[in-house]
C-alpha cells in the first residue's frame, strides 16, 4: 500500500437552520480544503462523500443531489454512510483510493443538514428500529443512551458530576473554534446538572446540539506530497473499523467492544502496542459527555472505568498529559453528524501541522487518534495520524 497524507482541511460554520443549501455547504468546505492544500479541483482524481440518512436533508439520494457541490461531476464518485461513524469512516474510504494506487489526490466531503427535519431530528431516528421487535415500543435514542449511561455509571461507580466535567471541558475548549455552535467559557458542572432532564440520567447539557454544516479534507499520495514539496501534511498511519450486532439488547453496553476492535486494527497498522504511551492526543466521538469516557476506554487510552478519573485529574485538558477533544468536540462545536469529520480528522490535521490557532495544544504532539461511532450503538471507525 502507498503512504497517504492529509494535506488540507476545511469546514463551515456549524449552526442550526443555516440558510445555505447542501450543495452550497459542500462547495464552501471543499473550496476551503483545496485552498489550504494549494490545489484546485483540476488536481482532484476522485471524490468521496459521507452523509447520514436522506431524510435529514429531505432529498432522496442526496449524495447524487449535492455531488456537484463537492466537485464530483466528471469524476469517479462514491458516497459512504455508517451513521455517526461516517465522521471518520469517509476518510478511510478516501484513504482506500489513494493507498491502493487508484488515485493520487482524493477530496473527501461530508455534509449534514438536520434542520429541515421538523420538529426535531429524533423523528427520523424513529424509523431506524427493527419493525417487529423494537418499533412497537416507540423507542427514542435519548432513552437508549440514558440506559447505556446508567449502566456505565452503575458498573464503574461513576458520579454524574464527574461525567459533567466532560461537557464543561469541551464547551470551554470550543471557545477557540471559529465554527463552534455552543462554546461557553463560563459553563460550570452545576449548569450541566441543573439543565433540563431529558431521560435520567441524561440532562440537556449532557447532549451535543443537532446542527447543519459541511467539512472536507484532501488526501494525497506520498509521491504528490514530495513532488509538490507540501509542508503542511499529516500522515494517515492506521485505519480500523468494526460493526456489532444491531440487537443492542443482547450485549453489555458498559464497554464498546466494536470500538476496541477497530482501534486494535488501526493500532496494528500504525505499529502502536501501548496506546496510552504512544498517542499524544485524541478526538473521540462525544455526542454525549459520557460517550467521550466510554470511547476513551474503547480506544484503550484508559482502563475500564478509569476515564472519569483521568478527566477529574485534568489529564484530558488541552494542557494535560492526554489532551482529549481539544477542538471542543461535538458537545461544544456542534453535531451535524457526518460533517463532524471537521472536528475529528480536520482537528488532527490542524493540531499536527501547528495550525489550530487558539486551540493549539501547548506542547509538541506527534501522534493523534480520531474515532467516530454510529448506527444503533454498533459501529466504530478509527484513524491514527502522525506529523
Q: What is the arithmetic mean of pLDDT over 205-214?
A: 94
Q: Is the pLDDT of residue 56 over 90?
A: no
The pLDDT value given to residue 249: 85
The pLDDT value given to residue 173: 98
The pLDDT value given to residue 141: 86
Name the packing angle between helices 257-270 and 289-298 (round to 10°).
Answer: 50
- pLDDT range class, residue 32, cuts 50, 70, 90: very high
The pLDDT value given to residue 135: 87
Q: Is the pLDDT of residue 17 over 80?
A: no
The pLDDT value given to residue 126: 80
- pLDDT range class, residue 218, cuts 50, 70, 90: very high
The pLDDT value given to residue 58: 80
The pLDDT value given to residue 125: 81
pLDDT in tens, 287-296: 999 999 999 9
The pLDDT value given to residue 140: 84
The pLDDT value given to residue 54: 80
pLDDT in tens, 114-162: 888 877 777 788 888 888 988 898 888 899 899 999 999 999 999 999 9
Q: What would the 3-class secondary structure string for the chain be?
A: CCCEEEEEEEECCCECCCCCCHHHHHHHHHHHHHHHHCCCHHHCCEEEEECCCHHHHCCCCHHHHCHHHHCCCCCCEEEECECECHHHHHHHHHHHHHHCCCCCEEEEEEEEECCCCCCCCHHHHCCCCCCCCCHHHCCCHHHHHHHHHHHHHHHHCCCHHHHHHHHHHHHHHHHHCCCCCCCCCCCCHHHHHHCCEEECCEEHHHECCECEEEEEEEEEEHHHHHHCCCCCCEEEEEEEEEECCCCHHHCCCCCCHHHHHHHHHHHHHHCCCCHHHHCCEEECCCCEHHHHHHHHHHCCCCCCCCHHHHHHCCCCCCCCCCCECCCCHHHHHCECHHHHHHHCHHHHHHHHCCCCHHHCCCCCCCEEEEEEEECCCCEEEEEEEEC
pLDDT in tens, 327-369: 999 999 999 999 999 999 999 999 999 999 999 999 999 999 9
Least confident of 45-59, 164-178, 363-377: 45-59
Tell me the percentage of the chain whose pLDDT exceeds 90.
Answer: 85
Instruction: Write down the mean pLDDT value for the chain.
Output: 95
Q: Is the pLDDT of residue 216 over 80?
A: yes
Amino acid at each position: 500500500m502507498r503512504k497517504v497524507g492529509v494535506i488540507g482541511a476545511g469546514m463551515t460554520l456549524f449552526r442550526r437552520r443555516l440558510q445555505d443549501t447542501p450543495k452550497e455547504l459542500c462547495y464552501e468546505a471543499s473550496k476551503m480544503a483545496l485552498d489550504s492544500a494549494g490545489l484546485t479541483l483540476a488536481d482532484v482524481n476522485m471524490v468521496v462523500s459521507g452523509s447520514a440518512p436522506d431524510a435529514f436533508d429531505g432529498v432522496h439520494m442526496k449524495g447524487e443531489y449535492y455531488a456537484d457541490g463537492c466537485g464530483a461531476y466528471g469524476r469517479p464518485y462514491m458516497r459512504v454512510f455508517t451513521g455517526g461513524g461516517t465522521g471518520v469512516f469517509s476518510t478511510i474510504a478516501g484513504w482506500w483510493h489513494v493507498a491502493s494506487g487508484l488515485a493520487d489526490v482524493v477530496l473527501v466531503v461530508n455534509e449534514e443538514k438536520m434542520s429541515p427535519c421538523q420538529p426535531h431530528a429524533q423523528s427520523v431516528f424513529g424509523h431506524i428500529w427493527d419493525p417487529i421487535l423494537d418499533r412497537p415500543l416507540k423507542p427514542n435514542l435519548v432513552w437508549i443512551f440514558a440506559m447505556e449511561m446508567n449502566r456505565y455509571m452503575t458498573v464503574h461507580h461513576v458520579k454524574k458530576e464527574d461525567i459533567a466535567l466532560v461537557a464543561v471541558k469541551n464547551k470551554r475548549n470550543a471557545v477557540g473554534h471559529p465554527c463552534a455552535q455552543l462554546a461557553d467559557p463560563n459553563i460550570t458542572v452545576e449548569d450541566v446538572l441543573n439543565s433540563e432532564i431529558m431521560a435520567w440520567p441524561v440532562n440537556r447539557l449532557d447532549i451535543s446540539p443537532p446542527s447543519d454544516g459541511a467539512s472536507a479534507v484532501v488526501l494525497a499520495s506520498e509521491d504528490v506530497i514530495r513532488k509538490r514539496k507540501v509542508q503542511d501534511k499529516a500522515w494517515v498511519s492506521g485505519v480500523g473499523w468494526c460493526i456489532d450486532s444491531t440487537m443492542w439488547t443482547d450485549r453489555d453496553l458498559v464497554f464498546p467492544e466494536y470500538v476496541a476492535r477497530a482501534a486494535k486494527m488501526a493500532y496494528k497498522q500504525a505499529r502502536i502496542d501501548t496506546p496510552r504511551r504512544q498517542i499524544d492526543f485524541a478526538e473521540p466521538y462525544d455526542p454525549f459527555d459520557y460517550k467521550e469516557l466510554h470511547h476513551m476506554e474503547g480506544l484503550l487510552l484508559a482502563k475500564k472505568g478509569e476515564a472519569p478519573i483521568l478527566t477529574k485529574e485534568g489529564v484530558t485538558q488541552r494542557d494535560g498529559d492526554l489532551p482529549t477533544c481539544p477542538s471542543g468536540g461535538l458537545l461544544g462545536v456542534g453535531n451535524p453528524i457526518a460533517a463532524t469529520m471537521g472536528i475529528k480528522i480536520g482537528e488532527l490535521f490542524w493540531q499536527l501541522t501547528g495550525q489550530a490557532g487558539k486551540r493549539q495544544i501547548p506542547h509538541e504532539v506527534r501522534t493523534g487518534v480520531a474515532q467516530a461511532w454510529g448506527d444503533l450503538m454498533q459501529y466504530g471507525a478509527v484513524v491514527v495520524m502522525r506529523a
